[in-house]
């Protein structure tokens, strides 16, 4: 997946589809949906952006160590404390924060 365009990983609940608006940026970024820890693990190492829609999964915690290129995380919810990962990576959090 290495290319000149950024990779956006989209963490969804099983059976969910990415919001239609994300496909509007297909020319600017590679959008990769993930619904399981295995799917997320395949993309998280290349992802520069992570958009989280599934707040009940433990997939992100399972693959967090592989998120080496991640620069931006967006949790699409009013209650974002469920994905507070600042204890795992100093200076990074889930509330639409640029980590670069």
- Check which CATH number belongs to the domain holding 75 and give it: 3.40.50.720
Q: Which domain holds residue 58?
A: 7-83
Which 3 state secondary structure label does DSSP give 56? coil
Residue 2, in any domain of the structure: no
What is the mean predicted confidence (pLDDT) over 32-58?
93
Reported as a pLDDT band with limits 50, 70 and 90, residue 90 is: very low
pLDDT at 55: 81
Residue 92, in any domain of the structure: no
Counting every residue written for the chain, the total comes to 100
pLDDT at 46: 95
Q: What is the mean pLDDT of the chain?
A: 80
User: For the chain, how long is the longest CA-to-CA vector?
Assistant: 35
Residue 90, in any domain of the structure: no
Residue 40, in any domain of the structure: yes
Reported as a pLDDT band with limits 50, 70 and 90, residue 94 is: very low
Residue 34, in any domain of the structure: yes
Total structural domains within the chain: 1
| Residues facing residue 73 across a β-bridge | 50, 97
Residue 97, in any domain of the structure: no
């Amino acid at each position: 997946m290495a290319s000149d365009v950024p990779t956006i990983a989209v963490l969804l609940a099983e059976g969910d589809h990415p919001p239609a608006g994300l496909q509007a940026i297909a020319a600017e970024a590679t959008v990769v949906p993930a619904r399981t820890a295995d799917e997320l693990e395949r993309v998280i190492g290349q992802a520069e952006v992570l958009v989280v829609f599934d707040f009940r999964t433990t997939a992100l915690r399972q693959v967090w160590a592989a998120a080496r290129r991640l620069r931006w995380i967006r949790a699409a919810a009013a209650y974002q404390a469920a994905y507070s990962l600042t204890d795992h990576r100093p200076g990074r959090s889930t509330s639409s924060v640029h980590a670069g």
